[in-house]
Amino acid sequence: MNDNLLIETKEIGDYRIKIYHDDYPSCPVQDWDMGAIHIFEHLEHGRYWLSQSCDWKEHVSNCREYSVADILQRVAAEVVEQKDIIKYFKVGKVDGLRFFYDRSQRQWVLQGKRGYGLYEGQWLNDLEIDPSDLKKYDYRMELLEPLDEDDLMALIQECAKDFVIKEWDSSGYSQGDHMRGFSYMTKKMFDERCGFSPNHYKTWQEQAMSVIDGEVKCIGMWAWGDVKGYVLEKKEAYTKTYSDGRKVESFDWIETDSCWGFYMETEELIAEVIAEHDLKEAA
């Protein structure tokens, strides 16, 4: 075993537990049956790239051409109805954005307040829609185009039905080690993959958020090399006899068990090994 990967050693009676970094951990998103969908990007060469290890195939065909923001817009268009987006805009929930019927043009207009120089702060048209077209066609992607990530997240959290979503980020141990993204779960996904535990949670949404938090923690441990394994050794005593008749009592450590792929903190893993093997301190 490569002791460069050794994290901690603990002796319990005649046993020794050695905790190592797992050098070849499985990716939770790709190799496990996760409860949620996880979309995240990582910092590389000064910019963020959508990770090949996230659930990008749920939404796009090429991860290098898209970002977390792009997929968040697609998610919003999937889970929020067009009428609810329009209502959200009409009541002024998004700063610097308004949606109204222009009687002179006989069109619905989406405007944003922006501009530069002499035109700074002016209302400029982002989208113009004929009333009959608004009833017939799906304009959700176009309506959502002016929204940034915070606006999209707020819209989803307020208007999406039977749906939970959470933004998150995670940092490693070196400058530049950073990931950011979001995770979500529908009620259908929750029912199929989780099952409600009323003794521990008040609502399915609360439990879903707990599942997401646990899965995101595992993703971070995988990304930053915090997955662990252990080697359990037992002290085997022997007597060494020299040519001059001298006898010296000594011992070797003999491996009795090992296991890898633990997504937990070092002290938690040591406690689990102790409990599993019923280890006790020497009397």
Domain limit, last residue, from 159, 178, 201: 159
All residues at 6 or more sequence positions from 265 whose CB lies less than 8 Å from its CB, including other chains: none
Number of other residues whose CB lies within 10 A of the CB of residue 221 = 20
Residue-wise pLDDT for 142-191, tens only, equals 999 999 999 999 999 999 999 999 999 999 988 889 999 999 999 999 99
pLDDT score for 2: 75
Q: What pLDDT band is residue 242 in, cutting at 50, 70 and 90?
A: confident
Residue 89's nearest CA partner among 53, 139, 16, 22 is 139
Q: pLDDT tens, 80-111?
A: 999 999 999 999 999 999 999 999 999 999 99
Tell me: the pLDDT tens digits for 130-141?
Answer: 999 999 999 999
Q: Are the CB atoms for 193 and 186 separated by under 8 Å?
A: no
| Distance (Å, whole) CA 114 – CA 120 | 6
Residue 253's domain comprises: 3-24+227-276
Residue 56, in any domain of the structure: no
20 shares its domain with 87: no
- Cα-based angle 81, 83, 89 (whole degrees, multiple of 5): 105
Helix (H, G, I), strand (E, B) or coil at 247: strand
pLDDT value at residue 249: 87
Residue 143 lies in a domain: yes
Does residue 199 lie within any of the structural domains? Answer: no
- Write down the residue that tokens 């001298």 correspond to: 246
For residue 283, pLDDT beyond 80: no
d(CA 259, CA 232): 9
Contact criterion met (CB below 8 Å) for 88 and 154: no
If you average pLDDT over residues 35-59, what whole number do you get? 95
Residue 117 falls within a domain, yes or no? yes
Q: In the predicted model, what is the mean pLDDT of residues 123-136?
A: 94
Residue 226, classed as helix, strand or coil, is: coil
- Which of 112, 135, 159 terminates a domain? The answer is 159
Domain count, the chain: 2
267 in a structural domain: yes
The predicted model scores a pTM of 0.88
Is the pLDDT score of 1 beyond 70? no
Cα–Cα distance, 71 to 60 (Å, whole number): 8
Domain end (from 124, 159, 194) = 159
Domain-located, residue 177: no
In a domain? residue 244: yes
